[in-house]
Structure 1
Amino acid sequence: MSIILRVIVNAIALWAAVLLVDGIEVTTDNTAAMILTYLGIGALFGIVNAVIKPVVKTVGCIFYIVTLGLVALVVNALLLWFTGWLAGALGIPFTIDGFWAAFWGSIIVAVVSWLLSLFVGGDDD
């Protein structure tokens, strides 16, 4: 899947997480700024997943095996939480209030991304 399409899918999935999970929010009122914020967060989330996730999966391989992959839920939550922290450090108005908001948000992001990827086609991660 092209990078632009992946960013758009991430942005839509993060928008769904903001709508459905208390504790995840984008704090801008301007519609144009909100769209750019979601696209920026989608790109940032894609970069975090492309750079950090393979390292974590390699280093924590034994935990993936022992927990039959359930540790992936925790890893995805931590990566989303880190994206929220990084967005705040970069001045992007996106916040995640705690691990549990990140946990439920990461599940929503994963499901929505998967569903959108089914419709738009492309390769799976």
Structure 2
Amino acid sequence: MKSFVVKTIANAVALGVATWLLSDIELTGTSTGRKVLTLILVALVFGVVNFLVKPVVKLLSFPLFVLTLGLFTLVVNALMLLLTSWLAGRLDLSFHVDGFWTAVLGGLIISIVSWAVNMAMPDDKD
């Protein structure tokens, strides 16, 4: 359970950094508390998308992973971010990614920041 919370917080921080760095990833809200709550909810949606959809996409596109020596991961991460943006719109969350190339760069930023935050935060796997 603690691992789930740590990963959700790491994703929320990573999504926040991506919205801060890229103007085409929008997070609107009236107050800081509202924005933080939206980031946490979007991080939950992002986690569910990565848990349910990403393995299927990776399995179906395995030949492309081999052919590109793993660089196709950037495309898959971008697609997961775009799917999260679409689902956030359907759930009335104020989070939007505008365009594929923004999603590619955002996916790269989210991957790096999420990895760094996961390394810095304690995780009880003992």
TM-score bracket, shorter-length normalisation: over 0.9
Q: Is the 8 A contact 2:78 2:106 kept in 1?
A: yes
Question: Which residue of 1 is the match for residue 61 of structure 2?
Answer: 60
Question: Which residue of 2 is the match for residue 84 of structure 1?
Answer: 85
> Structure 1 stretches (4+) deviating beyond 6 angstroms?
none
1:5 aligns with 2:6: yes
Identity of aligned residues (%): 42
RMSD: 1.3
Tell me the matched-pair count.
123
Q: Is the 8 A contact 2:6 2:118 kept in 1?
A: no
TM-score w.r.t. length of structure 2: 0.93
Amino acid corresponding to residue 46 of structure 1 in structure 2: G
Deviation at 1:75, TM superposition (A): 0.6
Match of 1:25, SS state, is strand
Q: Where do 5+ consecutive residues of structure 1 fail to align?
A: none
Question: Which residue of 2 is the match for residue 118 of structure 1?
Answer: 119
Amino acid corresponding to residue 83 of structure 1 in structure 2: T
Question: Which residue of 1 is the match for residue 42 of structure 2?
Answer: 41
Deviation at 1:122, TM superposition (A): 3.9
Deviation at 1:121, TM superposition (A): 4.3
Question: Which residue of 2 is the match for residue 73 of structure 1?
Answer: 74
Match of 2:96, SS state, is strand
Q: Partners in 2 of 1:121 and 1:62 — Cα distance?
A: 36
Deviation at 1:77, TM superposition (A): 0.5
Deviation at 1:86, TM superposition (A): 0.7
